[in-house]
Amino acid sequence: MSAPPSAAIGVLALQGDTAEHLRVLRGIGATAVPVTRPGELDQVQGLVLPGGESTAMAKLAERYELLEPLRKRVRAGMPAYGTCAGMILLADRIVDGARDQRTVGGIDMTVRRNAFGRQSESFETGVEIEGLEGGPVDAVFIRAPWVESTGPGVQVLGQTAEGGAAGRIVAVRQGSLLATSFHPELTGDARIHRLFVDIVKGTA
């Protein structure tokens, strides 16, 4: 099997909704490949960290000797996009995390795990994303985190607008790193994935 091109976007494929992200990225014309090993990580230009279970992902990344390479690539400027659990993995700080929970880090933010409640409290709502044309995105929240606070280098892109959790930060960007509390890969709306592809290309 030939190696994927250097312009490929990887999707971390250790646990979670990898297939959905691969499908969306390929649907908008991106070269998207699963990443499970350090050698595969070396061959991608950007990486999606999908939703799933953040503690399990971190433990599997460590087991497969991916955690430190991920940290090094992110620190070196590799674009990365985290959804839900992926947002937690990109956070520098976690509230209500599992004991000894480890992250990749990179975004100067504090994230509260499972902030919107349990699986039974999952919901959908519209979220306006700064700089994204076409109106609110349809955001699916499943045991989702929210951002408690951000550092000065973090741009808040979206906040919830309704209910008791109105005003919570659910989308952020810091340089080439992007994160959302919700799952755009489940809605058929590819605008946030297009934004990430543009970040990888250096055009956003």
Can you tell me whether residue 183 is helix, strand or coil?
Answer: coil
Q: Tokens 């990179």 — which residue? A: 106
Q: For residue 171, what are the β-bridge partners?
A: 158, 180
Indicate which residue of 21, 40, 84, 193 is catalytic: 84
Distance CA(44)–CA(6), nearest Å, equals 5
| Helix, strand, coil percentages in the chain from 3-state DSSP, rounded to 5 | 25, 30, 45
Would residue 185 show up in a list of annotated catalytic residues for this protein?
yes
* Cβ 104 vs Cβ 90: under 8 Å: yes
DSSP string covering 30-70, please? --EEEE-SHHHHTT-SEEEE-SS-HHHHHHHHHHTT-HHHH
Q: Which of 40, 65, 121, 183 is catalytic?
A: 183
* Active-site choice (21, 40, 130, 185): 185
Phi, psi of 6 (to 5 degrees): -65, -20
Is 124 labeled as catalytic in the residue annotation? no
Length, in residues, of the chain: 204
Residues contacting 29, CB < 8 A, separation 6+: none
Look up 183 and say whether it is catalytic. yes
Between CA 147 and CA 101 the distance in angstroms is 17
Give catalytic residues, as residue numbers. 84, 183, 185
